[in-house]
Amino acid sequence: MAVWGTNFVVIKLSLDAFPPFLFAALRYTFAFLPLVFFMPRPKVSWVNLCIYGLAVGVGQFGILYFAIDGRISPGLASLVIQTQVFFTIGFAMFFAKERLRTYQTLAVLMAMTGLGIIALHTDASTTFLGLALVVFTGFSWGVANTVSRRAGSINMLSYVVWASAFAIPPLFVISFLFEGGWGHMNASLTSAPVGAWAGVLWQSWANTIFGYSAWGWLLSKHPAAVVAPAPLLVPIFGMGAAAYFLAEPLPLWKILAAGLVIAGLVINLFWPNIERGLKRRLS
């Protein structure tokens, strides 16, 4: 969660050198190469790999980069994308017949209240379009979570690497069609400073290879309602890093919104242990 949270600052800084969809295409190119030559294809269908690669690569990060590129601030993006919790739990209830317990409902409502506060405070740095786009990335993340869980107990590193192959072509095509064609793409690639390329590699290896392999492994071992809220820790790191490195302001409403979201996480994760402890004491 620390890697994912601070990554929003890296995204913002790297977007100074690369247009968003080209940046996403480079991320998954380096996640795919050269590891694909050393990792056997996971024992899962091509359809599963394709849906996961498109959901994460295009639906989540392609759109997220586009949103952060002037439509929403990085710190708030790190918070709004946690709508994935609602989508992941909802999909698990629909497809895996998992039940949403009372305390989990309360947790979700608290988090939704925090997101509602954000929606009431749009300004020049955070637009309604930016909010809508990042909510859509949460939906895409929820789809990816559901698909990866259905893959079962497999080598998640291999899964993430091979799925990246399906994100690369559409991202390059979108970049070519909507970001100035080959001339602009070539200019970005040849003029990008070392720091921007370091950002690409951080995206590829720290976030994609490490982050999503670990995340997929957790989802394959635990119920979605337990694991899905964990990224609500991301805004703590995301908003803190944005305030420190990008001087993004932290007004009271933003702190209140983040507090509600994190409170929802705490209730969802720790209420069962608290309840068991109370029962033991009372007995």
**What is the number of alpha carbons within 13 Å of residue 124 lying toward its C-beta?**
1
The pLDDT value recorded for residue 260 is 87
Residue 152 backbone zone (phi > 0: left; psi -120 to 50: alpha; other: beta): left
Report the C-alpha gap between 198 and 18 in whole angstroms: 12
Report whether pLDDT(77) > 80. yes
The pTM is what? 0.84
**Cβ pair 111, 80 in contact under 8 A:** no
Residue with tokens 């995204």: 11
Higher pLDDT, 161 or 212: 161
Instruction: Summarize pLDDT for 35-49 with one digit per residue, the tens.
Output: 999 999 999 999 999
181 burial level (CB within 10 Å; 0-12, 13-18, 19+): exposed
Structural domain boundaries in the chain: 2-282
Of 111, 275, 147, the C-alpha closest to 219 is: 147
Report whether pLDDT(114) > 90. no
**Cβ pair 177, 61 in contact under 8 A:** no
CB atoms within 10 A of CB 179: 17
Report the C-alpha gap between 215 and 157 in whole angstroms: 10
**Cβ pair 142, 91 in contact under 8 A:** yes
Report whether pLDDT(96) > 70. no
Extract the tokens encoding 60: 């989540």
Higher pLDDT, 230 or 29: 29
Q: What are phi and psi of 251, to 5 degrees?
A: -70, 170
- Inter-axis angle of helices 128-150 and 213-221, nearest 10: 60
CB atoms within 10 A of CB 148: 26
The pLDDT value recorded for residue 64 is 96
Please tell me the least confidently modeled range out of 21-35, 73-87, 114-128: 114-128
Instruction: Summarize pLDDT for 145-202 with one digit per residue, the tens.
Output: 889 888 877 888 899 999 999 999 999 999 999 998 999 999 999 999 999 999 999 9
Report whether pLDDT(19) > 90. yes
Report whether pLDDT(228) > 80. no
